[in-house]
Chain A
Amino acid sequence: MLIAKFPDIDFAPHPLMTRAEKSHEQLCARVPPERLLEVMRFLRTDDRCNFEQLCDLTCIDYLNFPKARDRYGVIYSLLSITKGHRLWVKCFANDPSPQVPSVVSIWKGANWLEREVWDMFGVRFTGHPDLRRILTWEAFEAHPLRKDYPLRGRGEREDFERITRESA
């Protein structure tokens, strides 16, 4: 149905994972970033799709993932409440300045989710109304969920003024 509507895009629909015995029922489609808004608007409004809710929006840094070509995969998890089905949409971006269009105009709930992805991965969402850091503070420079950021950080957690009993 998606393929019929947009014949020029290679969606490559595939299940999220395939096991030896059976293929998983969770379906995933791939959309290039420049067509994302158009496809999403179709998915939201079309009567056969009716994905009213953006259930989740996340990102994966496929830095050392086996057989991965692109680095950042932004994953939209769509849910239709009336139809009761789900669809995962993946949109890939790459260094040096990963960019994906924002879907806040379609689902209001994408606001904080996109801010979180920007904060954690450094993927910029063009057209986002208020793209600030959300979980870390404004002066923080790194994007901690990238694979090349160490688990224990780069000394941010030791950088405070020490209060002793004299100084308080």
Chain B
Amino acid sequence: MGLALPVSPTYQASKEEYLSTKLSYLMDILREKTVNWSRKNSLWPMPFATACCGIELMATGASRYDIARFGAEVMRFSPRQCDLLICAGRVAIKTMPVLQRIYMQMSEPKWVISMGACASSGGVFDTYAVVQGVDQFLPVDVYVPGCPPRPETLLEGVMAIQRIVEKEGVRSSTERGRGMGLVIQPTIQVQVENPTAN
């Protein structure tokens, strides 16, 4: 990225001033990069596990899939200690206020994963009691598809959050609410050799 200094061209800065401004600007970038990098690699998830997806979340935390490889193994059940809300499972009408309260209790910066078809869209439960997608009432960053998603898929979702954190970091309050402006591309491209052959 360019290091264009935020000074007007008419203003003649002294050499010392110029250097110190440049240095502090560099330090800012470096600090932001460092903070983002460390945030990204130590996400503390808050598992809001209601249903089947919660079991896959447990399996992701257990030894075979081992979410600790991505630095996100520190599950904290107090929302005030967490920065990543994983909403796993369907959310009933009675649970939605609870989920909203938990989201509001989490301290900034915070990100939300909506895990599974039920949390993202209601899934097979198109009934009177199930909220048809938590994103209607909460800001969601990453949707993880599947019913329930395999642990690999959830790990991909966590990695997507990491890419968001790395690229955007913490947005200031004026930037909030304008959407992410970022499309998460899957890291794995599936190569289909000859799509017409059966």
Residues of A within 8 A of B (CB): 136-137, 144, 149-154, 156-158, 160-166, 168
Bound-complex Cα distance A137 to B177 (A):
32
Given known A136-B94, A137-B93, A157-B93, contact A162–B128 (CB-CB < 8 A): no
In the complex, are the beta carbons of B137 and A160 less than 8 A apart? Answer: yes
Q: Map CB proximity to A onto B87-129 as digits: 1 under 8 Å, 0 otherwise.
A: 0000001101100100110000000000000000000001111
Nearest neighbor of B106 in chain A, beta-carbon distance:
A168
Given known pairs A136-B94, A156-B93, A168-B104, the reply for A151 and B136 (CB within 8 Å) is no
Within the complex, which residue of A137, A153, A162 is in contact with B137, where a contact is CB–CB below 8 Å? A162
Q: A137-B93, A160-B100 are in contact. Are A149 and B128 (CB under 8 A)?
A: yes
Contact A161 B100 (CB under 8 A): yes
Give chain B nearest CB distance to A159 CB in angstroms.
Answer: 8
- Nearest to A149 among chain B residues (CB) is B128
User: Residues of B at under 8 Å CB distance from A?
Assistant: 93-94, 96-97, 100, 103-104, 126-132, 136-139, 176-177
Which residue in B96, B126, B127 is a CB contact (below 8 Å) of A160?
B96
13 new A-B contacts at CB < 8 Å, known A150-B128, A152-B128, A165-B139: A137-B94, A144-B129, A152-B127, A154-B128, A156-B129, A157-B129, A157-B130, A157-B131, A158-B136, A160-B136, A161-B100, A163-B137, A168-B103
Residues of B within 8 A of A151 (CB): 126-128
The reply to whether A153 and B177 form a contact with Cβ atoms under 8 Å apart is: no
How far apart are A100's CB and chain B's nearest CB, in angstroms? 25
Given the complex of chains A and B, what is the CA–CA distance between A165 and B127 in angstroms?
Answer: 28
B97: contacting residue among A160, A166, A168, CB under 8 A? A160
- In the complex with contacts A144-B129, A151-B126, A153-B129, A163-B104 CB distance below 8 A: yes
- A contact residues around B131 at 8 Å (CB): 157, 160
Partner of B128, one of A153, A163, A166: A153
Give 9 pairs: A residue, B residue, CB < 8 Å, sorted on A: A144-B128, A151-B128, A152-B127, A157-B93, A160-B96, A163-B103, A164-B139, A165-B177, A166-B176
Contacts of B132 in A (CB 8 A): 157-158
Q: Min CB distance, B44 to chain A, in Å?
A: 18
- Minimal beta-carbon separation of A153 from chain B (angstroms): 3
Question: Do B139 and A163 have beta carbons less than 8 Å apart?
Answer: yes
User: Which chain A residue lies CB-closest to B179?
Assistant: A165
Q: What's the Cα separation between A153 and B97 when bound, in Å?
A: 18
On chain B, the residues within 8 Å of A164 by CB distance are 139, 177
Q: Is the CB of B127 within 8 A of A153?
A: yes
CA distance A11 to B176 in the complex (A): 69
Q: Which 3 A-B pairs have the closest CB atoms?
A: A153-B128, A165-B176, A165-B177
Flag if A136 contacts B129 (CB, 8 Å). Answer: yes
